[in-house]
Amino acid sequence: MTPLMPYLVTFVVGAIIGSFLNVCIHRLPRRESIIWPGSHCPACSAPIAPRDNVPIVSYLLLGGRCRACRARISPRYPLVELANAVGYVIILWRFGVGWPAMAYALLFSALLVITFVDLAHMIVPDLITLPGIVLGFLLAATVLPVGLVDSLLGILVGGGLLWFLAWASPYLFGKEGMGGGDIKLLAMIGAFLGWKPTLLTVMIAAIVGSVVGLSLIACKAIQRNQYLPFGPFLALGAILAMLFHQEVLSWYFGLFAESP
């Protein structure tokens, strides 16, 4: 087996799972079953044949249109498939083959679904975050290099921090703060990653969210009082913390160690 073969297999598996994630992104906000009926065109409801359901490739061959009605297919579909495939490859490169990599791949896919649902509907599905908190805690206690106590602290720190900000925002800023979905999302992230990467997640999300928000206001793409979904920024922060929190924390504490 060539050294690249595991990465190729991982990419293909990630793209296939990404196709299922698209079903979740489309149906969960509509409270539809993700199992039945099978994949079909959102415009004409025609069933999608297996040859037209090959991740990424079918979209390109069909020119981004339904074979039956020629309606345009959202580019979100190949984007999610490609993102999940690339994410799995990076996780394999970072953690190698094993249960931890599989657990992190599960978290990555959940964050991908949450990102696109939040962008489209401004909601973070409880159907993902609530079971995710329990599953993350169990995985942290068994296969992840986190441990039961650190995972529990991650849940408390993550959920508690955003809960406090949501409670304090009307008093401090005169408007509503984080939604309940974001609180449960960060609690799920804390369950998988532990409390230190969870704090790093919040820091990254706050910085990137502020830069993006101010840029959109400067470009007059949004109004100053308009809300941006915070879930995608938390997801980005969690992915970066999952992959590189040890290096980031070592660099951060190294700054204090080098200070005179």
Q: Please compute Rg for the chain using Cα positions.
A: 20
Q: Is the peptide bond before 6 cis (omega within 30 degrees of 0)?
A: no
Q: Is the pLDDT score of 18 beyond 90?
A: yes
DSSP letter (8 states) at residue 29:
G
d(CA 88, CA 101): 9
69, 28, 84, 242 alpha-carbon torsion, rounded to 10°: 160
**pLDDT for res 26:** 92
d(CA 24, CA 99): 24
Q: Name the pTM for this structure.
A: 0.90
d(CA 231, CA 7): 29
Residue range 170-225, pLDDT digits in tens? 555 455 556 688 999 999 999 999 999 999 999 999 999 999 999 988 888 888 77
Note every long-range contact of 142-150, with CB atoms under 8 Å and residues 24 or more positions apart, other chains counting.
Answer: 143/99, 143/100, 143/103, 144/99, 144/100, 144/103, 144/104, 144/192, 145/100, 146/192, 146/193, 146/194, 147/194, 150/194, 150/195
**What tokens does 239 get?**
């992915």
**What tokens does 24 get?**
């979740």
Residue range 146-169, pLDDT digits in tens? 999 999 999 998 888 777 776 665
**What tokens does 152 get?**
């529990």
Residue 226: band (very low, low, confident or very high) from pLDDT cuts 50, 70, 90: confident
Residue range 66-101, pLDDT digits in tens? 998 999 999 999 999 999 999 999 999 999 999 999
DSSP letter string over 38-67? Answer: --B-TTT-PBPPGGG-STTHHHHHTTTB-T
Q: State phi, psi for 47 to the nearest 5 degrees.
A: -60, 145
19, amino acid identity: S
